[in-house]
Structure 1
Amino acid sequence: MGIGQRLRRENVRMVGKLTIVAAGMFAFGYGLVPLYRAICEMTGINILSLSELQVPGGAAGGKSVRVPDNTQVDTTRTITVEFDANVRGLWDFKPAQRSMQVHPGQLNTVMYEFQNVQNRRMAAQAIPSYAPQQAAPYFNKLECFCFNQYTLDAGEKKQWPVAFVIDPKISKDVKTITLSYTFFEVGGRTPAAPTASAAPLAQEPRS
């Protein structure tokens, strides 16, 4: 047998082996999808796909927030979420609504309104706190004005969204959660706000 024929046969064998390996890899990858979905259903975890939520009036004037496409919603439970606002300075700051009924695992959005009523530009930031404090690790904010500092001109008004999901793993003893923000001026003449851990847990909603 000539060297040329031997090389051709070896090439044919190599091509055959590579074809088998490629087919096996394709079958393995294809089979992972239903297996992964089955694992997600069993564990209650789903990071297979994400969808975008358009939050109206976001901090950047309308912002897409990526949230789980198949969040596990516990429709057997309802939690009352109360919204509170505190300020350290002379400006208006309040939630658009005082409370809402939510299911654990459900995506919710509440708007907060702010106006700089001073006659000068100011930089400000908000710090959140929670009551009861044990709810804090389960209160997941996907979009929040508290993530950033903002500069507002004299008389300027803003509306900011808070998009949140309460983890279904939260204790069933928790029936009400108060989300409270303290808004303070950064580098201004007003006293500095307390840290998040030392912030007041909540105040009774003002009428």
Structure 2
Amino acid sequence: MKYPVNEVFETIQGEGCFTGVPALFVRLQGCPVGCAWCDTKQTWDVLPENKVTTEQVIQVDGTIGRWADHTGSSLIQAFKDKGFTAKHIVLTGGEPCLYDLTEMTSDFIAAGYQVQIETSGTFEVKCHDSVWVTVSPKVNMKGGYKVLEQALVRANEIKHPVATEKHVDELDALLNGIDLTGKTICLQPISQKERATELAMKVCIARNWRLSIQTHKYLNID
């Protein structure tokens, strides 16, 4: 199966449970969710005129919205050709769960990689059983998609962006009735503003949740 890849780059995972881990980010093209604060809006549309060769999306800046068809095996070969050494792969987007990721994630795992998916939870998660799934719920976004119970149940980590008490209330409503056994709940300030960070810290302490800081923004790395 071929997947539309916007860019591939090697860096350090900056947020969530794998903060600080060297990682290969595979950013897929396509997302209808419509988050107002999205910093990768170039990934929203899969436009035929922006299709490029497979080599043109490896270790490059994908800001113009270009994309190329890749398979799991072709990406593994590209990792080797570029000399990438990270063994943790992060599938992100866009919205990666627009696609059935079973084949790609199975290829990665068979090749010895650890795999993480970062998803909004608005599409069914289809992947290898051993994939670490991070759901960052996107509630009441422009696209009108609902966060799915299937995605929350499958999640290993639920990493919720917060700026106000309303966002905490939204998370509580989503988690109502979900078995949280074995799941890590993270609150992540939407911005680097002091108020958002203080709120996230306060709630994490009160509920014994985990604070996720976007350390890559403080370090000025991808």
- TM (norm. structure 2) is 0.22
**Bigger strand fraction:** 1
> Relative to total residues, which structure has the larger helix share, 1 or 2?
2
Name which structure has the greater RCO, CA cutoff 8 Å, separation 6+. 1
Which of the pair has more CA radius of gyration? 1
Length-normalised TM-score, structure 1:
0.23
